[in-house]
Structure 1
Amino acid sequence: MEPQPTGRITRTGPESYDLTFSRLFSEPPDAVWSSFTDSAQTASWFGRWQGTPARGSWLDLQMLYEDGLPWSRLQVSECTAPELLRLLVKDEYGSWDLEIRFQGHSGGTRLDFIHHLDDPLAAEGVGPGWEYYLDRLAAVRGGATVPEFGDYYPGQGPYFLAQARAAADADETGGIG
């Protein structure tokens, strides 16, 4: 069975959009927080990082589940444990502004992962990737079989492209312009 895409794109300004994904976990926020802030745990589902994490600091991030195991630079721009983590990631293709929110929910955690975009059409490629990685995170945390990237990309691309076009056509309040 192919995984169903869950991400949503909303227009937040004249040239800004949010690509948002939500996941629920049975553990409390501080447990899920460590999946992003402990390099060994991050490596189990996304990639490993090196350096001393602190607000404003730069770290080196290696994506362990991408072809060629590429490295990026990562800056911690906001950090309020265990509620909010905002990261700026730079690589050879540009930069990503990522916001991760952790909220207590029914005895567990609601994780909202937000990729702030200037161009909503970028979601056609990055949307399936984030679905894959967040499902990997859930599988690792839950002891389940990790998904295969080919089940997400390119199959989910049309879903995200349609979301992007609708967001681009919306006015800044979310209505159709």
Structure 2
Amino acid sequence: MEPEPTGRIIRTGPESYDLTLTRTFPEPPAAVWSSFTDSSQAASWFGRWEGAPVRGQSTDLQMLYEDGSPWSRLQVSECTAPELLRLLVEDEYGSWDLEIRFRSSAGGTRLDFTQHLDDPLAAEGVGPGWEYYLDRLAAVRSGGTVPEFGDYYPGQGAYFLAQARAAAEADETGRGIG
């Protein structure tokens, strides 16, 4: 079963774009926050790190559900518990600027996960990956069935490519050019 992609790409500047995915959880923000900030909880759905991530310092992050379980460098650039977590991640493919916002919503949490992009076309590959990981997080938190990556990639790539092209053609206010 191929899940429906939910991510949206918007142009935020001359050469900047945001890929944002939203999920809701029945627990309060502090409970969902720990899925990102407690290494053992993060390991259940994404990856683990060595040491204690401290704002402005780097630590090693191992992505446990990628081929070869690769290591990356992780730096916390902003942290306001349990509302905002901004991470800079570097790996062999480049750097990733990730912003995670946790908001109280209807008795639970609205999580907005944003990857800031220089090139919207990168979303063709990373969009399905974040859909997978966030659905994996929801399954782990609820005790549900953990999804398979093959249900997301490459099948969702065309959706994200269309979003990326539309964002690239938009002016900085998000309206189409022309």
Deviations 1:97-132 (A, max 9, x none): 000000000110000000000000000000000000
For residue 59 of structure 1, report the CA deviation from its aligned partner. 1.2
Aligned position for 2:68: 68
Partner Cα distance (2:45, 2:52) in 1 = 20
Deviations 1:39-83 (A, max 9, x none): 000000000011222211211000000111100000000000000
Q: Secondary structure at the match of 1:3?
A: coil
Deviations 1:155-176 (A, max 9, x none): 0000000000000000000000
Equivalenced residues, count? 177
| Counterpart AA for 2:67 | D
Identity in percent: 83
Partner Cα distance (2:67, 2:52) in 1 = 26
| Counterpart AA for 1:33 | W
Q: Unpaired runs of 5+ in structure 1?
A: none
| Counterpart AA for 1:114 | T
| Counterpart AA for 2:49 | W
Partner Cα distance (2:165, 2:139) in 1 = 31
After the TM superposition, list the runs of 4 or more consecutive aligned residues in structure 1 that deviate by more than 6 angstroms.
Answer: none
Aligned position for 1:81: 81
Q: Secondary structure at the match of 1:139?
A: helix
Question: For residues 47-66 of structure 1, what are the structure 2 equivalents within 5 Å?
Answer: 47-66=47-66
| Counterpart AA for 1:129 | G
Aligned position for 1:45: 45
Contact kept? 1:17, 1:116, Cα under 8 Å: yes
Cα RMSD of the aligned pairs, angstroms, is 0.5
Aligned position for 2:139: 139
For residue 17 of structure 1, report the CA deviation from its aligned partner. 0.1
Contact kept? 1:86, 1:99, Cα under 8 Å: yes
> TM-score, length-normalised on structure 2?
0.99
Contact kept? 1:51, 1:58, Cα under 8 Å: no
Aligned position for 1:99: 99
> TM-score, length-normalised on structure 1?
0.99
Q: Unpaired runs of 5+ in structure 2?
A: none
Aligned position for 2:176: 176
Partner Cα distance (1:10, 1:63) in 2 = 27
| Counterpart AA for 1:21 | L
